[in-house]
Amino acid sequence: MVKHKANHISRNSQRMKDAITLDQLREAIGTEIGCSEWREVTQEMINQFADATDDHQFIHVDPERAAKETPFGGTIAHGFLTLSLLSTLAYEALPMLEGATMGINYGFDKLRFLSPVKTGSRVRARFKLADADIRPSGRVVNHYDVTLEIENSLKPALTATWLTIAVVEPPEG
């Protein structure tokens, strides 16, 4: 049995306060719709990601060797770890769509890893709603231009257009 963090209950109730309507979503196209809090990327997170993905390259998991043999001064996060942080950062930053029963990843366009994230750095995600394709099926395909910023760095860790699907229940009646 997989155990999940208990804070999901409080996170769900918090998100309900932030629900927006389809009309509000349409009005938000072209604007910044959310920005997360800063999140530290720790060596423990990197090690756990290395174990989960079986990617134990020394630049990620060997601080002493990475300090000696790389230009980074120590270990760096996996690019895909930084990408995977978008899920939790989006959950924190983006409003929930009223009537949505679930959100599903649909893909990425123009994904670029622009700068390494050094261990101990803090990152945050900034989301601009580029488009919202509201389909008759009850699905809404959101296109977010997302930037994963690194605190005290001019260059972001990554940029991408992230496509998600919100499954919306049809109104009763």
Q: Where along the chain do its domains lie?
A: 19-168
| Residue 135 Cα to chain centre, angstroms | 24
Cβ–Cβ < 8 Å for 121, 151: yes
| 128, 97, 100, 35 alpha-carbon torsion, rounded to 10° | 50
Confidence of residue 2 (pLDDT cuts 50, 70, 90): very low
The confidence score (pLDDT) of residue 172 equals: 66
Answer whether 123's CB lies under 8 Å from 152's CB: no
Q: Dump pLDDT digits (tens) for 13-69.
A: 344 447 999 999 999 999 999 999 999 999 999 999 999 999 999 999 999 999 999
Q: Is it the case that residue 1 has pLDDT exceeding 90? A: no
Res. 142: pLDDT tops 80: yes
Q: Which pLDDT score, from 0 to 100, does residue 9 have? A: 34
CATH number, domain 19-168: 3.10.129.10
Q: Which one has a higher pLDDT value, 171 or 41?
A: 41
Q: Where are the alpha helices (DSSP H) in 54-147?
A: 58-61, 63-69, 79-93
**pTM of the predicted structure, to 2 decimals:** 0.87
Mean pLDDT of 148-170: 96
The encoded tokens of residue 17 equal: 């306060």
Q: What pLDDT is recorded for position 20?
A: 94
Q: In whole angstroms, give the CA distance from residue 75 to residue 169.
A: 45
What is the reported pLDDT for 173?
Answer: 55
pLDDT digits (tens, 9 = 90+) for 77-91: 999 999 999 999 999
| Cα gap 99→3, rounded to integer Å | 27
